[in-house]
Amino acid sequence: MSELVPGTGVDAAVVPLAHAPLPADEVLIGRPTSATHPLATLGEVEVGIWEMTPGTASDTEADEVFVVLSGHARIEFVEPALPAIEVDPGLVVRLSEGQRTVWTVTETLRKIYIA
């Protein structure tokens, strides 16, 4: 599937995604994989689907808002240090460019992102 054509829709919960292993230097526990599927580019903003299988990995974030569609994870904010959050379906989260995080996914996490 390619980007959405104007006037069309897709069930983001079931779009097939092609997973690949995360970079070894980001993986802290397990063998998580991830997949991204862009849905639309609006000016300089990208909207898409992202998914990660169970495991723990570090990341440096982009400016992003996302909505969790399915799964469960805990996000720890390493830099700047902030309280960790648990994310479940329906939660909307804002990340900031350069934030360093650790994601512990316990149930495959799928989200819609706007970045």
- Please give the tally of structural domains in the chain: 1
Q: Is residue 9 part of a domain?
A: no
Q: Is residue 46 part of a domain?
A: yes
Q: Which of 1-5, 19-23, 93-97 has the lowest mean pLDDT?
A: 1-5
Nearest CA to 12 out of 87, 61, 73, 66 is that of: 66
- The torsion region of residue 7 among left (phi > 0), alpha (psi -120 to 50) and beta comes to left
Domain hosting 69: range is 20-114
Q: Is residue 13 part of a domain?
A: no
Please classify residue 52 by burial: count the beta carbons closer than 10 Å to its beta carbon, then call 0-12 exposed, 13-18 middle and 19+ buried.
Answer: buried
pLDDT band at residue 34 under the 50/70/90 scheme: very high
Q: Is residue 63 part of a domain?
A: yes
Residues 6+ apart with CB under 8 A from 109: 51, 52, 68, 70, 71, 72, 73, 87, 103
Residue 35: CATH number of its domain: 2.60.120.10
Q: Is residue 1 part of a domain?
A: no
